[in-house]
Amino acid sequence: MRAYSDLGNQTMTFVIAEHRSGVLNSVSWEVIGAAQQIGEPVTVAVAGHGMSSVADELAQADVVEVVMLDDLALEPYTSDGFVDAWTQVIKVENPELVILPHTYQTRDFAPKLAVRLGKRLITDCVATKRREEGLAFVRPMFQGKFVADIVPQEQGTHFASFQVGSFRADSVVRRDDPAPVRKAQLQIDPLTIRQRPETPFKEAKQAVDLGQAQRIVAVGRGIKEQDRLPLAQELAKVLDAELAASRPICDAGWLPMDRQIGSSGQTVSPKLYMALGISGAIQHLVGMKGSHTIVAVNKDADAPIFEVADYGIVGDLFEVVPAIISALGE
């Protein structure tokens, strides 16, 4: 565990963790890992109602403390409630850097929060680096064709969100004893919360969240026909994995759009990612390159997917996949 001394003279990195119905989102651990790698003391905070168990889980990380924003007005989630609560806390804590996961929820409230505080928000980051001018945030541009180093110029608090899979959740340094947990003092007027989640919002929460999957089987144009999807579905079932796809498959309507991986779909970082018949266009790679282990099956030995794969099989997926299913079933 790192030792922090004379904290009052050091810069603090403030991490906003995310949960869903009291279950901590795994990407929260990724952004904690990102904060730890920056090298400054880290404080983690979480908002909602009945947050004690979530706060205790976060206290396992090697952080200075966990700040708990616990209020009836914060459940269910609304951007009005979150912006009000986080504004109060960030004004008190006054961190130089606030880090968030680049999730649907963050994209909903973080821009409003930054505007409320008059601060800059750097979105969709994938890394940080030290430069002479200061800490730079690396983010993809033009659908991942280029990356840019962004160095904030203004003084005071600034915000940055990180893509899912940019950092490994298992890289988080943990404490021998729990970090202290502190409940923030909030004054939230329920009458200022104009929003109420209705049916479309609730349905969206129930859509598949591939970012939480531990194993994913993804198919590309190499599957050739929709009638051949059951082969990939069978492999996914054997592996206890989620089924996903590249954009052409979803555009064709063969799988729902919430199964799409890539720059215009979901970003994932599973323990296992099996790419079947996926060539590896940059738009797809930016959505899955953070996977821990990538296995690619493609009959084209020069397919770009093999450049990021940990294991590559050059062959016909209609021969390779049945053999894998058979071997796993033995």
Protein fold of 210-329: Rossmann fold (3.40.50)
Q: How many residues does the chain have?
A: 330
Give me the pLDDT at residue 189, please.
84
Distance CA 325, CA 264 (A): 30
Per-residue confidence (pLDDT) for residue 286, from 0 to 100: 82
Position 257: which residue type? M
Q: What pLDDT is stored for residue 149 in this prediction?
A: 92
Cα 165 from Cα 286, distance rounded (Å): 10
Extents of the domains making up the chain: 7-205, 210-329
Torsions phi, psi for 133 (to 5 deg) = -80, -15
Please name the fold of domain 7-205.
Answer: Rossmann fold (3.40.50)
The per-residue pLDDT for 209 is: 79
Provide the 3-class DSSP secondary structure of residue 324. Answer: helix
User: Which residues does 162 contact at the CB level (< 8 Å), separation at least 6?
Assistant: 30, 31, 34, 99, 100, 101, 102, 125, 126
- Within a 10 A sphere around the Cβ of 187, how many other Cβ atoms? 9
E strand spans, the chain:
13-16, 19-20, 23-24, 42-48, 65-70, 97-101, 121-125, 127-131, 134-141, 146-150, 158-162, 181-183, 215-219, 242-245, 272-276, 293-298, 311-314
pLDDT, averaged per 10 consecutive residues of the chain (330 residues), comes to 38 92 90 94 96 96 96 92 96 94 92 95 92 90 81 88 86 94 92 70 57 92 95 95 95 93 86 95 86 94 94 96 89
Fold matches, 7-205 and 210-329: yes
User: What pLDDT does 203 receive?
Assistant: 42
pTM for this prediction: 0.73
What is the pLDDT, as a whole number, of residue 198? 62
pLDDT, position 6: 36
Q: Give the model's pLDDT for residue 222.
A: 95
